[in-house]
Structure 1
Amino acid sequence: MSENDNLQNADGKKEVESTETTPTQETAQQADTPKAESTQSDVETEAPTETPAEHTNTQENNEEPPTAQQKTDDHVEEIDASNAEDAEDESNSERHELEDKDYHAMSMDELTAEFSKLLKHHKIQTISKHVNEIKGEFNAKFNELLEEKKEEFIDDGGNEIDFYFTNDTKKLFNSLYKEYKQAISAYYKEREQNLKQNLENRLEIIEEIKGLLNVEENMGTTYKTFKELQERWRNAGPIPRDKYNNAWNTYHHHVERFYDFLHLNNDLRDMDFKHNYEQKLKIIERAEELAQDENTNRSFRELQVLHKLWKEELGPVGKEHREEIWERFSNATKAIHDKRQAYFADMEKAHEKNLERKEEIITQIEAIAADKANSHNAWQKKIKEIEALREAFFKAGKVPLKVNESTWAKFKNAVRTFNRGKNSFYKELKKDQYDNLKKKKELIQIAEDNKDSDDFATVTPLMKKIQNDWKKIGHVPRRDSDKIWKQFKAACNHYFDRMHEERKAENQHLYDAFDKKVKLLEALKDLKLTEDNKADIETLKSKIAEWKEVGHVPQNKRYIDGKFYKAIDDAFDKLKMDKSKLEMVKFESKLENLADPEDTRLLDNEYNFIKKRIDEIKSDINQLENNLQFFSNVKSDNPLVKEVHKNIANHKKELDTWKSKLTKVRGMYSE
């Protein structure tokens, strides 16, 4: 057995000095760089030349019984490993609380905002992973934008060597990243100095405790000095984690030696033992309460604190209690550990199901990415599908830690593959848009070259053609769309406004006629009938004659004729006379408007319409008469039969009216 194998801590538990780093510590060291370097290679440890009397073994063969520390199980080692992670930097645990976010889905502005939040609300040493992800995504997106701007610059006639582009978002991001680099550099520099200084301070405290054994003075004064050194040790701050175990082992060793030395004054020692015993009982009671807590994570975190208090804040207890209280504390720790392990086992099963769901989602994303679309609408549909799958991925919950990073990487790769396909499509689409832009600019040039031409017969068909051509050309880049449309529209409007003004001057008499008809229409609306049908019919006919006498109006104003004859029909409808006679009076007034010796198209249309209507009514009459055959055995006073006869009579009466109209139209041709 080596000299150091006899070292025991203040509770009688063996602590074997080791310069090796536990896997947990090694991982923690790799996570935070640069690592502080000690000014000494190892912490000096002096073993006693003989076992202190209170630790002497009384068993046969002079072999020591297994101590509580030697019997330590996984549940205690897990606590020690967790506390060792915080030995160098008490803020390490915070980095596990930062929320993982889908930075790949964020825009450059959103990434910049997230970066700013990290700098403002979190310790600089806890955000490096997130900063690196944000930086990678931001640079990828900015490089894509840079390529687009470069293509636009070259397409507009620029020389590639002269291209330069930045924007406010990029400037702000660069500023934040510079701030981060300066802050993290300052933090590590300061931390390295603090860790070195704290280690030196702790080594000095150990040396001063060693020196107390050789001081020849009042024991009460020596004890007071010892308690002051213990308080300084508690407040000495974090040290390099690779020196943590050695420093604490050495410190406990020399604390024990001092208590061995102190046995000369039992009152002071026993008072300390009593205080430590009472405090450790409180720790045990709290640990036993935590063993009943259903929140396993919360109870484990507090248990870590209790173990730190046990180890770092409190000294030894009387030898007769050491094994007993450690066993009790260890059992409470094991209960919490076992409950936590069961919780993690259940969580692992849930995580496995989450993993299956996430892998299904990734497969779906990969399938969508592999299916190449060739239209904007198709890609928009695929984008919505991907967004829904992304949301489902994040709602699916956590997966086993061992596959967390690989699953996340697989998801990002699937989404990135989709985005590459999407970006490739829209990149080609942009090329087409630039081709369209070139074509539309050519049409603008034609419009502007001809907008002041007086050759209306030649240029008007040309202007109409380029307007149609414009509609057939596809989309252009959005930033140019409004600008070129306004330019094209202005040139076309300039030409057609000139043409219309010219034609208006040539056809001023038509516009004068329109103004007169507007006044006649207003007068007709205000016309009061006398209830003398004959007189009112003559009045309305005179209004029609007056309207017709005014003559034609411009082509685009002919809608006023329809309004006038609608008003005439409304006036006729107010007359109290037989419906069929009224219908003929209205029709005769209508024929007055249709009569035009030079253009019979309107009259022709009316003639064809009347003939068609007559045929329809005859067909209806035949159908009704055929229906009567089904009622041959039914009495004539049957309501259904009477209704059919009534309909036939109405149709025949209507037929007579239409035949009269046809006669009137034929008479118009012979005039």
Structure 2
Amino acid sequence: MSIEKETSEKLEQQPQANPQDAHELETPEHQEEQEHEEEADYSHFTRQDFVKLIESVLHESDFKKVDALLRDTRPLVDEMKEADRQAGLEKFLADGGDEADFDFKYDEWIERYDAAYRLLKDKKAKHFAELEKQKDKNLARKEEILEKLRHLVDGEESTTSINALKTLQTEWKEIGQVPASQAKTLWANYNALLDRFYDNRSIYFELKELDRKKNLEAKLELCQRAESLAKETQVKEAIKQLNELHEEYRHLGPVPKEEQEALWQRFKAASDAIYARRKVYLDEIKGELDKNMTLKSALGDKVAAFASFTSDRINEWNAKTKELMEIQKQWEAIGGLPREHSKEVNKKFWGGFKSFFHNKNEFFKNLEGLRQENLTRKQALVAKAQEWAESKEWDKASNALKQLQQDWKAIGPVPEKFRDSVYNEFKQACDLFFTNLRNRNSEEQKGFEVNLKNKEAVCAKIEALAAEKSGNTDALTQLVDEFTKIGFVPRNAMKSIQRKFHDAVEHFIAAAPDLDDVNKERLRLSIELGIAGHDPMAKRKLSNKENDVRRKIKEVEDNIALWRNNLEFFANSKTADKLREEFDVKIAKAKEELSALKEQLRLLRSIE
């Protein structure tokens, strides 16, 4: 049996090699710490926040902290990247692109995050590779110390052997970690050789006791530091410091046996107090994560309904997209999920999300054929617009182009690469015609202004003629004829010039000394119907006026006959006299109106 194996078995049996001193961290609370890592809340982080966070640890030497940060933030950033890519793909397809040609470039913040992520991964890999190399070197150095210890243990006792032992112990402590597979055996052999050294020398108990007292003082200080952590407000920081204290406690040697249990219980009690606070903290986080899971599961159910959505209208797809993006905002506003359910809930939500956009992309692919057809129809409208562009048939061309513009609006979108060019061709043709039309209208407007001044001058002449009170109807007829032959006036002056003309004519008729009422009325009708001015429409106007008067005469005669017939039914009525009186008044007024209408008809016939 080898010395190491023999001494290892002895170490397990001897009280001074209590495993509790070698493995202080293996407590239930510490195991819980190893199994449950705190999850930071990144639910409200923007991409800028993630970049600042990851860049802040580029020079961090605690790679456990770095690894946890990368593990927690990477999925969230990947979700952002996927959402960006989907949105970019959707726009690319909506603009007429082919998915096979889609090449998406992420924004500056995503690029910076990815660059920092790769750098940290490389640094971490390099660090742990160096660490493993160092552990191998440490193993070799500790094995050399073990060999020296064997020589020291088996050698002759001298006054310098204790100093040599202390030197080897110091060297052993200064050496860092070794590969985990070798650590326990190495530690056991080291302690076994120390025990053999003290067993073989007369000063063993004295030196061991002295060493234990020093260890006792050191562990008492660790207990005080552990107890002071109760004042630390940040649970995470308290746990970090406590782990460091456990690591120190573990590497300190044994203490006097009578103090050993009480000391450990004191240190454990301080640790338990911190772990109790951590349990409350983790329970709170778990409650929050469970609440988040309920909310996100509900959103997953909502998104699942989008996966089966279908429509043949772009605006309905866009409306649904807007709804889905609002749900995504709600999703992103909610915090993290319990790790054991995270994959399931995320898969449910993002599965529905991706299915919707897949269906939408298929819709836009099918829409491309329709857009090509729309392009052909719009190109036909361009050709028609170009035919009318330089036409001088102003009204006909204007109406035709306005109809083409309505037809254009009714046609749906065309492929994106032709949208501007085909529209510009159509617009140029329309603009050419309407620019020419505006120029023509501008010239016409100037002519209308001249006509207005000429008509105002004629009205002034009629007013002057009326002021003479000569009754010269021939001169009036010439002026009316001159007024009629003048062309159009501006639209906003039409009513005012007609009023001025009518007032001037009435002033003349009223001032004419030799005209009786019949001739005055005949003159009014003649001017009104355009007879005096030789209006080409005069005969038609005269005929229409005569028919209108005849219709009114018949209507009045019918009313008189009806009222007379009604009077016979009231003969035996108690109120017959009163009713007869009312109808007599109506009939009398109707007769007066009838007489005036017949006189007007007679005048119209005389004008003919």
Per mean C-alpha deviation after superposition, the further-off stretch among 117-126 and 471-480 is 117-126
Specify whether residues 415 and 98 from structure 1 end up closer, same or farther in structure 2 by C-alpha distance, changes over 3 A only: same
Specify whether residues 186 and 592 from structure 1 end up closer, same or farther in structure 2 by C-alpha distance, changes over 3 A only: farther
1:192-591 to 2 correspondence within 5 Å? 192-207=128-143, 209-210=145-146, 211=148, 214=152, 217=160, 219=162, 223=166, 226-227=169-170, 230=173, 232-233=174-175, 236=176, 243-244=179-180, 246-247=182-183, 250-251=186-187, 254=190, 261=198, 265=207, 269=211, 272-289=214-231, 298-299=234-235, 301-312=237-248, 315-316=252-253, 318-319=255-256, 320-345=258-283, 348-349=286-287, 351-448=289-386, 451=389, 463=401, 466-477=404-415, 480-495=418-433, 497=435, 513-517=447-451, 548=483, 551-553=486-488, 557-562=490-495
The residue type paired with residue 307 of structure 1 is N
Aligned residues: 510
More helix by share: 2
Q: Larger Cα Rg: Structure 1 or Structure 2?
A: 2
Q: Does 1:78 align with 2:32?
A: yes
Matched residue, 1:55: 15
Matched residue, 1:620: none
Specify whether residues 300 and 488 from structure 1 end up closer, same or farther in structure 2 by C-alpha distance, changes over 3 A only: closer
The offset of 1:456, in angstroms, is 8.1
How many angstroms apart in 1 are the aligned matches of 2:503 and 2:271? Answer: 100
How many angstroms apart in 1 are the aligned matches of 2:268 and 2:604? Answer: 120
The offset of 1:195, in angstroms, is 1.5
Q: Tell me, what secondary structure is at the counterpart of 1:422?
A: helix
Q: Does 1:127 align with 2:70?
A: yes
How many angstroms apart in 2 are the aligned matches of 1:397 and 1:219? Answer: 61
* Long gaps (5+) in structure 1: 5-43, 58-63, 86-92, 103-109, 154-162, 528-533, 536-540, 572-587, 616-655
The offset of 1:326, in angstroms, is 1.5
Equivalent residues of 1:361, 1:389 under 8 A apart: yes
1:29-108 to 2 correspondence within 5 Å? 47-48=7-8, 50-51=10-11, 55=15, 73-79=27-33, 96-97=39-40, 99=42
How many angstroms apart in 2 are the aligned matches of 1:182 and 1:602? Answer: 98
Q: Tell me, what secondary structure is at the counterpart of 2:487?
A: coil
Task: Please give the TM-score of this superposition, normalised by the length of structure 1.
Answer: 0.56
Equivalent residues of 1:76, 1:333 under 8 A apart: no
Equivalent residues of 2:90, 2:361 under 8 A apart: no
The offset of 1:171, in angstroms, is 10
The offset of 1:514, in angstroms, is 1.2
Specify whether residues 406 and 151 from structure 1 end up closer, same or farther in structure 2 by C-alpha distance, changes over 3 A only: same
How many angstroms apart in 2 are the aligned matches of 1:401 and 1:351? Answer: 9
Write out per-residue CA displacement over residues 465-485 of structure 1, whole angstroms, 9 at most, x where no aligned residue: 544432332233566444432
Q: Tell me, what secondary structure is at the counterpart of 1:316?
A: coil
Equivalent residues of 1:146, 1:165 under 8 A apart: yes
The offset of 1:440, in angstroms, is 0.9
Equivalent residues of 1:369, 1:414 under 8 A apart: yes
Equivalent residues of 1:366, 1:414 under 8 A apart: yes
How many angstroms apart in 1 are the aligned matches of 2:601 and 2:184? Answer: 121
The offset of 1:410, in angstroms, is 0.5
* Long gaps (5+) in structure 2: 59-65, 153-157, 199-203, 461-465, 468-475, 505-522, 556-591
The residue type paired with residue 255 of structure 2 is G
Q: Tell me, what secondary structure is at the counterpart of 1:383?
A: helix
The residue type paired with residue 187 of structure 1 is K
RMSD between aligned alpha carbons?
Answer: 6.2
Equivalent residues of 1:440, 1:473 under 8 A apart: yes
Specify whether residues 445 and 119 from structure 1 end up closer, same or farther in structure 2 by C-alpha distance, changes over 3 A only: farther
How many angstroms apart in 2 are the aligned matches of 1:116 and 1:665? Answer: 98
